[in-house]
Amino acid sequence: MQKLIRWQGLIAFFVVTGLIAAIIIVFLDFWIKLAAVKTLESTTGAEVNIAQVNHTFSPFGVTFTGIQLTDPATPTQNQAQADEVTAKIELAPLLLRKVIINDLTISGVQFAQPRESEGAVYRTAKAAIKEELQEAFDPKNLPSVDEILEKSPLKTTRAVEETQAAYQKHSEILKERYAQLPSKDALENYKKRVEAITNTDYKNPLELAKAKEEFDALREEIKEDKAKLTAFKDAASEAKADMAPRLAELKAAPGEDYAQLQAVIAGDQGAIQDVTTMVFGEKAGEFSHYVLSAYDLAAPMLAKSKEEQAEEEAYNGRWIAFDDTAALPDFLVRKADISVTWRSESVLSVWRDITNQHDKIGRPTTFKVDSSVSSLWQSLQLNGDFYLNDTGVKANQDWNLRGLALSDISLLEQEKLSSTLLKGLLSSSGKASINKNVISGTGNAALSQLNLAATGSNNLTQVIAETLAGLSNLTINSDIGGTLGDLDLSVSSDLDKQLTAVMLNNLTGEQSSKLGELKQKLNAKIEGPLGATDSEMDQWLDWEKVADGDLSSIQSMLDSKLNSVVDNKKDELTDKLKDKLKGKLFN
Amino acid sequence: MQLLAKLLKALNSDDSPWQLAFGVMLGMIMGLTPFWGLHSLLILFIVLFLRVNLSTFLLAYALFSGLTLLLNPFMSGMGESLLVSTDLNAMWTGLYNSTFGQLTQFYHTLTLGSLLFSLMLAPFILVISKILVVQYRVRFMQWVNKLKLVQFLKGSRIYQIYQTLGE
């Protein structure tokens, strides 16, 4: 036995295992920090800093202090940062590789704050909207009227094409059917034959029966021609009904195109149309980011592609879960209080059941912000939920913000146009939903008591600046679209129309002459088709009148004359029969 | 050089061929399976508490750890097929819901697959190692000891230290 056992080995065993345990415990904070930084960096694609990590064993918990997540689009600032994150973690589920956090507190969350030093970016950010806006302000040569007409999707062109196509269709049908109509001679012939039948004095019923037979055959012939006349008349009516609105549309189209295209001559149409986006888009984007930031939390949960995961699993193996009594997801935060600091005001959001395996818990993650009167706003309410499973994300959210006081907000700082919101009140409400990762929603932002300062450096931007400076109220409508993690926001307001009107009042001589040319060319586009169609339609009307006359003549031939002949003969024969009977009875 | 010296020391020592062979076998199991696990603790206990040759254990551990680069996908697949087998589902579920089962981490495909694979390989490795050690000592030891490289190694400080420790 002694030959088999090594007693010193037992001591060595305890020393080795003790050493391993000691190393784990001593460096636990370091390893937690390392793991957290690596995980967050792979999710955000940019440098993550954590100042300090502390852990406690009873209850088991971790506290992260000074967390900064670099914004990959703007590495000089943090996408988000937090003063402290404290998590109380259930120890037993960790053996099953499940992270169950009973209580999570995140305090001092701030967005878009400057960093002390520029953070490293590991994934390229998308081109910033600013670059696109800068392009819109570049002065361009006025396009020629022909270029405008060629590039623009004109209503006139469409109306001409549609009218011509419709006219062609009806014209062919009408010509074909008109050719099938009975000639004047044929109608005259019918008239003569009818008169011959009706004017003959029939001596006996046999003659009358024969005439009736002849008349019936004639009647069938007339009926066939009548059907042709009716078909022609129906086609003519249909053509008239179809062509009338088309012609009206064709006549109105140049006017409508002119109204639309005059903005192109008056200035940069793109710039005018996008002025709401240019001036308010960036801030609206920021605001939407705050409002929809909950989805930023959901997006990384789906970020890792299944393909990547499969490759990793093939090499490192995977953890297979079997039914357990608790039916826990791999990651769950039962309750979280997240406190976001904005302009020295703290907004508390309360979260329940944060996970990426909602099928396991059978309910969605919910979040709620209910902030009463503060120094910044009158009220802020935000409610939402999201549910993640294999098919994607399903989420709903609505918000209602009343009376947010705005002051000294730089809206746009560019060489050719700069604008600052000196003072104003913002109220906003809206809702958004996600279905299978596709976001849709609408929102509106009503700005009141506005005081805007703006300066422009060229004709176009000066007009924009003057219009902005004159604004006291503005309602901006936004459409939220895109996919999870790639939000697409479009904003619009009546500011664009206001600007076009102002610009049209400030036209140069060249612009005025181009407008005249535009009007003339648009009208010329419809002159040909409209003239040809009008004359052809006159011919259709003539044909229709003729057909109407022929139809009534045939109808009268068929109805009145034949009936009277039959009736007269019937009466005559009845009288004769009566006379004969009287003679026989009374003589 | 260090590993070679270790091996030479072990082969030339008075340890029985079985001690050396067990070292190879346990080193193989430890090398093929993931380090963090209850099984590793058990192997470490056996290696240290019983008179298993530590040099061959460490050598085999290093050698078979390298082989995992090639073998991991196969071993993981093996574990996966066992864990997803409907016939065994009741057993795995029972194990999964027990503290012991959770500590074994047998619900991890690679842990289960590699441990089973290495256990299946173990008897063969043990017997083959024993035969090789015996054959080496009988046929090659004297010839190898005459090699200049070996003489150089034996004269090295590292070998001297091992020699001292072994006495």
Look up residue B147 and give its amino acid: L
Q: Are B64 and B43 in contact (CB under 8 A)?
A: no
Structure tokens that stand for A137 in this block: 């302000």
pLDDT interval class at B42 (50, 70, 90):
very high
Over the stretch A329-388, which tens digit does the pLDDT of each residue have? 888 899 999 888 877 778 888 999 988 788 888 899 999 988 877 777 888 888 999 888
In eight-state DSSP terms, residue B108 is: B
A317 to B84: CB separation less than 8 angstroms, yes or no? no
Chain A: closest CA distance from residue B118 (Å): 16
Give pLDDT, residue B76: 93
* Beta-carbon contacts below 8 Å between A and B: 80
Among A13, A17, A317, whose Cβ lies nearest the Cβ of B110?
A317
Q: From residue A383, give the alpha-carbon distance in Å to each of A439, A480, B4.
A: 16, 17, 68
pLDDT interval class at A130 (50, 70, 90):
very low
Res. A91: pLDDT tops 80: yes
Highest mean pLDDT among A289-293, A465-469, A482-486, B118-122: B118-122
Q: Which residues of chain B does A17 touch, with a Cβ-Cβ cutoff of 8 Å? A: 41, 44
Structure tokens that stand for A200 in this block: 């003959």
Burial letters for B5-37: b for 16+ Cβ neighbours within 10 Å, e otherwise? bbbbbbbbeebebbbbbbbbbbbbbbbbbbeeb
Give pLDDT, residue A471: 79
Give pLDDT, residue B83: 92
Mean pLDDT along residues A9-32: 90
Burial letters for A164-191: b for 16+ Cβ neighbours within 10 Å, e otherwise? bebbeebbebbeebbeebbeeeebeebe
CB atoms within 10 A of CB A463: 20
Residue B111 contacts A where some CB pair is shorter than 8 Å: yes
Rounded to the nearest 10 degrees, the angle between the axes of helix A155-179 and helix A205-266 is 170
Structure tokens that stand for A480 in this block: 């939220």
pLDDT interval class at A125 (50, 70, 90):
very low
Chain B: closest CA distance from residue A436 (Å): 29
Dihedrals phi, psi of A77, to nearest 5 degrees: -130, 165
Rounded CA separation A478/A443 (Å)? 5
Lowest mean pLDDT among A5-9, A185-189, A257-261: A257-261
Rounded CA separation A137/A270 (Å)? 9
Find the residue in A nearest to B18 (Cα): A4
Rounded CA separation A441/A393 (Å)? 15
B44 to A17: CB separation less than 8 angstroms, yes or no? yes
Instruction: For residue A350, give the nearest of A376, A381, A379 by alpha carbon.
Output: A381
Dihedrals phi, psi of A446, to nearest 5 degrees: -100, 115
* Cis bond before residue B34 (omega within 30° of 0): no
pLDDT interval class at A256 (50, 70, 90):
confident
Rounded to the nearest 10 degrees, the angle between the axes of helix A155-179 and helix A509-556 is 20
Find the residue in B nearest to A314 (Cα): B73
More confident residue, A157 or B55: B55
Contacts 24+ apart (CB under 8 A), B115-122: B115/B29, B115/B33, B115/B39, B116/B78, B116/B79, B116/B82, B117/B32, B117/B71, B117/B74, B117/B75, B117/B78, B118/B28, B118/B29, B118/B32, B118/B33, B118/B64, B119/B29, B121/B28, B121/B32, B122/B25, B122/B28, B122/B29
Rounded CA separation A281/A279 (Å)? 6
A317 to B79: CB separation less than 8 angstroms, yes or no? yes
pLDDT interval class at A129 (50, 70, 90):
very low
pLDDT interval class at A87 (50, 70, 90):
very high
In eight-state DSSP terms, residue A558 is: I
In eight-state DSSP terms, residue A97 is: T
Q: Which residues of chain A does B109 touch, with a Cβ-Cβ cutoff of 8 Å? A: 313, 317-320
Lowest mean pLDDT among A314-318, A464-468, A567-571: A567-571
Q: Which residue has the tokens 């097929």?
A: B81
Find the residue in A nearest to B41 (Cα): A17
Give pLDDT, residue A569: 66
Q: Report DSSP letters for A540-554, one per residue.
A: HHHHHHHHHHHHHHH
More confident residue, B154 or A70: A70
Rounded CA separation A423/A407 (Å)? 4
Structure tokens that stand for A153 in this block: 């999707």
Q: Are A411 and A320 in contact (CB under 8 A)?
A: no
Look up residue A477 and give its amino acid: N
CB atoms within 10 A of CB B74: 12
In eight-state DSSP terms, residue A143 is: P
Res. A132: pLDDT tops 50: no
A322 to B97: CB separation less than 8 angstroms, yes or no? yes
Among B72, B80, B96, whose Cβ lies nearest the Cβ of A324?
B96
Over the stretch A454-482, which tens digit does the pLDDT of each residue have? 887 776 677 777 777 877 888 888 888 88
Res. B115: pLDDT tops 70: yes
Res. B82: pLDDT tops 90: yes
Structure tokens that stand for A565 in this block: 């002949």
Residue A576 contacts B where some CB pair is shorter than 8 Å: no
Lowest mean pLDDT among A44-58, A143-157, B130-144: A143-157
Q: Are A528 and A238 in contact (CB under 8 A)?
A: no
Q: Is A517 exposed, middle or buried (0-12, 13-18, 19+ CB in 10 A)?
A: middle
Rounded CA separation A306/A540 (Å)? 68
Over the stretch A431-459, which tens digit does the pLDDT of each residue have? 988 887 788 888 888 888 888 888 877 76
Find the residue in A nearest to B84 (Cα): A320
Find the residue in B nearest to A18 (Cα): B41
Report which secondary-structure segment, H or E, holds A409.
strand A392-413
Residue B85 contacts A where some CB pair is shorter than 8 Å: no
Instruction: For residue B54, give the nearest of B13, B94, B91, B93 by alpha carbon.
Output: B13
Structure tokens that stand for B130 in this block: 């024993």
Q: Are A10 and B48 in contact (CB under 8 A)?
A: yes
Rounded CA separation B60/B37 (Å)? 19
Structure tokens that stand for A218 in this block: 């004639």
Among A4, A95, A318, whose Cβ lies nearest the Cβ of B102?
A95
Rounded to the nearest 10 degrees, the angle between the axes of helix B148-155 and helix B2-12 is 100
Instruction: For residue A141, give the nearest of A462, A417, A497, A514 by alpha carbon.
Output: A514
B99 to A95: CB separation less than 8 angstroms, yes or no? yes
Instruction: For residue A465, give the nearest of A275, A324, A197 by alpha carbon.
Output: A275
SS3 A369: strand
In eight-state DSSP terms, residue A288 is: H
Q: Which residues of chain B does A321 touch, with a Cβ-Cβ cutoff of 8 Å? A: 96, 107
Q: Which residues of chain A does B51 touch, with a Cβ-Cβ cutoff of 8 Å? A: 3-6, 9
Contacts 24+ apart (CB under 8 A), A573-581: A573/A205
Q: From residue A413, give the alpha-carbon distance in Å to each of A135, A143, A177, A282, A490.
A: 14, 28, 70, 11, 20
Q: Which residues of chain A does B96 touch, with a Cβ-Cβ cutoff of 8 Å? A: 96, 321-324
Highest mean pLDDT among A137-146, A238-247, A536-545, B31-40: B31-40
- ipTM here: 0.79
Strands A60-70 and A474-483: unpaired
In eight-state DSSP terms, residue A75 is: T
Interface of A with B in 10-49 (CB under 8 A): 10, 12-13, 16-17
More confident residue, A552 or A147: A552
Over the stretch A413-434, which tens digit does the pLDDT of each residue have? 777 778 888 888 888 899 988 8
Highest mean pLDDT among A26-30, A264-268, A553-557: A26-30
